[in-house]
Structure 1
Amino acid sequence: MSTDRNIVLFDLFGVIARHQRPGALEEMAARCHAPTDAFATAYWACRPPYDAGRQSAPEYWTAVLRRLSLSADADSIEELRLTDIESWSRVDDRMVAYVRSLRDVAEVALLSNIPSDHADAFLIAQPWLRDLDHVAFSGKIEAAKPAPAAFHHCVVAMRAAPTDFLFVDDRAENVRAARAAGMNGHVFTDRDELASVIDHWLPTRPSMRK
């Protein structure tokens, strides 16, 4: 069932925002005096509960450092936390402009896997996010893609039907999960291809904005 709405639901990193700054993991590993490979393994292995809002930043970084058999003092944790947030802070200005322009023809929302403290920093740095029709950060809603609960949150929060959504993500597994939840989906590669997909999708739908 559709409520005849046009909602483009965007991922953040790898679509609107850049992936982590190159060299950031090496920089954080060096600050811990840890091998980069071991640090990267601990960083990603401990990440899911932090992304999903089940751990605070100090709990996450304590888990990372303990996995590396390192002490987890408050100063080191805060230094790592701030470096980590900075490493995920870059956006693609062309995509930001495109996303904002879409609000003339569709509802626009965001669903991102991002820890709660990262989300707070991103909202301060990118206030245009508050102009979107809905913003869902995994660390705030306590559900991370590709879990069905993340997509269900957006459906319920926007009082829409799954078929009202076109979900855009650079990760195929997340797009598959969105489609399994009843949404339309597109694996993002670049802005021009996405614009063509959206232009084709929108005329088949009743317009929400006159």
Structure 2
Amino acid sequence: MPADRSIVLFDLFGVIARPQRPGALGRMAARCHASTDAFTTAYWSCRPPYDAGQQSATEYWTAVLRWLSRPADADTIEELRRTDIDSWSRVDARMVAYAQSLRGAAEVALLSNIPSDHADVFLAAQPWLHDLDHVALSGKIKVAKPDPAAFQHCVVAMRAAPADFLFVDDREENVRAARAAGMHAHLFTGRDELEAAVGTWLPSRSAVQ
């Protein structure tokens, strides 16, 4: 039995948007006079509350710099913040077009882990996001994947059932969490595999061929 609605719920980075710009972590590490390995550990270890909207950019970067035993002055924090935002600014134009092409046959939504200040810049730079049926950005909704509440937010916001969704993400832990929440889910490894998965899941896929 098909679901009452068909909603393709995309992750952003690693699916529609490009992964972090190569070399960005090394450049930020150099600004902190730290090794890339040490900086990378601090960057990701301190990240969850920032992604989930529980910390401001200043609080996050202060935590990173303290982890590295470096002074957290305002100029350094702002330079790191801007470099970080730029490092996550690229999109895959072919994937943007593909997501848009689905809208004749399905609702299309987005669920992404992204800090609030990053989200503001990304929303301003990518007008296509405003055409989607729903956009849930972790820094704005105050919860990040793989927390079940992130998926529940989309269910409630779209007034849908979990089974109405096909969630697409490049991280296995997020795919598992979506399935545990009752959604269909696909681990993204490339556009061709995704098109095949959507073609199997979406009964009316032929409408966008």
Q: What aligned pairs does 1:145-164 form with structure 2 within 5 A after superposition?
A: 145-164=145-164
Task: State the secondary structure of the residue aligned to 1:150.
Answer: helix
Structure 2 residue aligned with 1:15 = 15
Higher relative contact order (CA 8 A, sep 6+): 1
Counterpart-to-counterpart distance in 2, 1:155 and 1:203: 21
User: Structure 1: which amino acid aligns with 2:104?
Assistant: D
Runs of 5+ in structure 1 lacking a partner? none
Alignment of 1:139 with 2:139, yes or no, is: yes
Structure 2 residue aligned with 1:189 = 189
Structure 1 residue aligned with 2:51 = 51
CA apart distance, 1:157: 0.2
Structure 1 residue aligned with 2:61 = 61
Counterpart-to-counterpart distance in 2, 1:5 and 1:54: 33
1:4-31 Cα offsets, whole Å, 9 max, x none, are 0000000001100111011000000111
Asked whether the equivalents of residues 105 and 204 of structure 2 are also in contact (C-alpha less than 8 Å), the reply is: no
Count residues with an aligned counterpart: 207
CA apart distance, 1:204: 7.5
Counterpart-to-counterpart distance in 2, 1:119 and 1:192: 28
Alignment RMSD: 1.7
Structure 1 residue aligned with 2:112 = 112
Runs of 5+ in structure 2 lacking a partner? none
Structure 2 residue aligned with 1:24 = 24
User: Structure 2: which amino acid aligns with 1:12?
Assistant: L
User: Structure 1: which amino acid aligns with 2:97?
Assistant: A
- Cα 1:2/1:201, change in 2 over 3 Å: closer
Please give the TM-score of this superposition, normalised by the length of structure 1.
Answer: 0.95
Asked whether the equivalents of residues 2 and 161 of structure 1 are also in contact (C-alpha less than 8 Å), the reply is: no
CA apart distance, 1:32: 1.2
Alignment of 1:4 with 2:18, yes or no, is: no
Alignment of 1:102 with 2:102, yes or no, is: yes
Task: State the secondary structure of the residue aligned to 2:9.
Answer: strand
Asked whether the equivalents of residues 109 and 135 of structure 2 are also in contact (C-alpha less than 8 Å), the reply is: yes
**Which consecutive aligned stretches of 4+ in structure 1 deviate over 6 angstroms post-superposition?**
none
CA apart distance, 1:3: 6.1
Q: What aligned pairs does 1:86-101 form with structure 2 within 5 A after superposition?
A: 86-101=86-101
Identity value in percent: 78
Counterpart-to-counterpart distance in 1, 2:161 and 2:30: 48
Counterpart-to-counterpart distance in 2, 1:203 and 1:47: 39
CA apart distance, 1:2: 8.2
User: Structure 2: which amino acid aligns with 1:49?
Assistant: P
Q: What aligned pairs does 1:66-77 form with structure 2 within 5 A after superposition?
A: 66-77=66-77
User: Structure 1: which amino acid aligns with 2:68?
Assistant: L
User: Structure 2: which amino acid aligns with 1:86?
Assistant: D
